[in-house]
A and B are shown apart, each in its own frame.
Chain A
Amino acid sequence: MRLWSHASRWAFAVMIACAAITVATALGQAGVYDGRYAWGIAAELAEGFIGTAALVSAVIPVGFAFGFLVGWGRTTRSWFARSVATGYVEFFRGMPPLVLIVFSSLSAAVLLRRYLYVEDPFLASLVVGVLALGFHSGGYQAEIIRAGIQSVPRGQIEAAYAMGLTPRQTLLSVVMPQAFRVSLPALGNEFSSAIKDTALLSAISAFELSQLAGFLARDALTINVRMVVIPWIEAAILYFALTFLVVRGVKAVENRVKVPGLEAPSL
């Protein structure tokens, strides 16, 4: 069964792509839509893809940084640290990302205008929105990392102490290497979620895939009403490709650091 599901991932990617291309070309020949249009906008969407990739490369590291801090903070002895960390996780996981993005951005704009007398705080509010998404992802990553830390058997921590390692050395040499390996699959899943959430950044006019698709769709409405769906479908394909690549990347990292005997609990 395992062999099937590994090969099937690739098989499906290829199959879907082929099927889509076949159907698309066939429909185009049949005159259902304007095939040249579809290929024409693909180039424009590619720019959006780059924009999305850039945003993703900001969101995921921010999420990881905070996820690491907060996830570790949830496991410390300090009651204060744990409460703050828990508060962070509950807030950023409990709020819809769209709400976080739009309102942190708007609020930042209002505050900048009101108190710092910034005329047009577009860039700053964009950054705030991206950070908000980063914090949102961080909330999920914190939980994943916390679970990874807690999965390290207590006996090994005991053994490390018994050898004379300090708590800090134990954290670095014993806990983190194992927590990291165990967390990777779940982190990969969360990364693909973060990629999909960047679509929401179009709400604050970030230059990315959905924003462009939206523009193209609205233009298409004026040209030929039937074609409005095409930009969105192409955008969907591009998102799929991006998440696919990122998850592959994480799997590759998993394979590189894999140690026999340290399999992640199977989902």
Chain B
Amino acid sequence: MIRIRGLHKSFGELHVLRGIDLDVSQGEVSCIVGPSGSGKSTLLRCINLLIEPDRGDIFLEEVRITDPQIRPEWVRQQVGMVFQSFNLLTHLTALRNVTLGLTKVKGMEAAAARDKAIFELERVGLAHKVDAYPAQLSGGQQQRVAIARALAMDPKVMLFDEPTSALDPEYIREVLDVMTTLANEGMTMIVVSHEMGFARNVADDVVLIDEGVVVERGPPEDIFDRPTHERTRAFMSKILR
């Protein structure tokens, strides 16, 4: 589904991505871990072209999306993204947050968009909060609305950029539950997260990125329990107790 070859990105002097190669198959849940500053967020943002890579290619279902001829808006319709800081539009209700993309980007009729939005909000368990404004929702609820918003676009791939890092502990569970259900339903997901429990239980593939390159990847048991690379071992020892 997603193939990344030789991705490079620098910000001024800082060479963040130094040749990333990655494959994610359809229906696979890929969990990206690594020290902060290793380029995980940058990588995610390259996949939906929020950031333009300097070098390298990204293929979405055999379409080379790094081709400058391709409109980024088209790519972003296929790729859904959930942010660490939710980024809900504060001046719109939960329902309108979800319908915005449907009406403006997909050009749906208002009624159809509303139905779809309610469906997605039910899917994340927030049918009773459709008319609430983001300020009236808890962190966990806001993030679930953000997930519904991304799902409503019927993306082929869902990207999660540390979706629970900004949440109070009591809300992490509800968001992870939604993500787990999504994974079980067969959504292709790339998740950057520090939630090792989620990675171990739900991920098909764990990828360690350090200093802009993929250090090691494999099934969770391999990476967590039998890391082969030195840096993987170092990282794991720091985060697993």
Q: Do chains A and B touch in the complex (CB under 8 A)?
A: yes
Q: Chain A: residues with CB nearer than 8 A to chain B?
A: 153, 155-156, 158-166, 169, 173-174, 177-178, 181, 259-262
Contacts of A163 in B (CB 8 A): 76-77, 100-101, 105, 149-150, 153
Q: Which 7 A-B pairs have CB atoms at the shortest separation, nearest pair first?
A: A261-B135, A159-B87, A155-B87, A163-B101, A164-B76, A162-B81, A164-B105
- 15 additional A-B pairs beyond A158-B83, A163-B149, A260-B136, beta carbons within 8 Å, are A155-B86, A156-B90, A159-B83, A161-B72, A162-B81, A163-B105, A163-B153, A164-B101, A164-B153, A165-B73, A177-B91, A178-B90, A259-B133, A261-B133, A261-B135
- Which of B76, B100, B133 interacts with A162 by CB under 8 Å? B76
Please, how many angstroms separate the alpha-carbon atoms of A265 and B48 in the complex?
Answer: 33
Is B212's CB within 8 Å of the partner chain A?
Answer: no
Residues of A within 8 A of B83 (CB): 155, 158-159, 162
Q: In the complex, A169→B149 CA distance in Å?
A: 17
Whether B50 contacts A162 by the Cβ 8 Å rule is yes
Q: Closest chain A residue to B101 by CB distance?
A: A163
In angstroms, Cα B134 to Cα A155, docked, is 14
Query: In the complex, how many angstroms separate the beta carbon of B88 from the nearest chain A beta carbon?
Result: 8
Q: Which residues of A contact B80 (CB under 8 A)?
A: 162
Expressed in whole angstroms, the Cα–Cα distance for A261 and B93 within the complex equals 11
Bound Cα distance A263, B11 (Å)? 34
- Interface CB pairs A-B, < 8 A, 24: A153-B87, A156-B88, A156-B89, A158-B50, A158-B83, A158-B87, A159-B83, A159-B89, A159-B146, A161-B76, A162-B79, A162-B80, A163-B105, A163-B149, A163-B153, A164-B74, A164-B76, A164-B101, A165-B104, A173-B100, A173-B104, A259-B90, A259-B135, A261-B133
**A-B pair number, CB within 8 angstroms:** 78
Per the bound structure, the CA–CA distance linking A178 and B85 in Å amounts to: 18
Count of interface residues, chain B, beta-carbon cutoff 8 Å: 30
* Cα-based distance from A164 to B150 in the complex (angstroms): 10
Given A158-B50, A159-B83, A173-B104, A166-B90 contact (CB < 8 Å): no
Q: How far is the CB of A208 from chain B (nearest CB, A)?
A: 38
In the complex, what residues of B have CB within 8 A of residue A164's CB?
A: 73-74, 76-77, 101, 105, 153
Give 1 or 0 for each of B188-204: 1 = CB within 8 Å of chain A CB.
Answer: 00000000000000000
A261 to B135, CA, bound (A): 5
Question: Could you say which residues of chain A place their CB within 8 Å of the CB of B133?
Answer: 259-261
Chain A residue nearest in CB terms to B152:
A163
Among residues of B, the one whose C-beta sits closest to the C-beta of A163 is B101
- Least CB distance, A177 to chain B, in whole angstroms: 5
| A162 CB contacts on chain B under 8 angstroms | 48, 50, 76, 79-81, 83, 150
- Determine whether the beta carbon of B87 is less than 8 Å from that of A181: no
Indicate which residue in A169, A174, A181, A260 contacts B89 across the interface (CB closer than 8 Å). A174
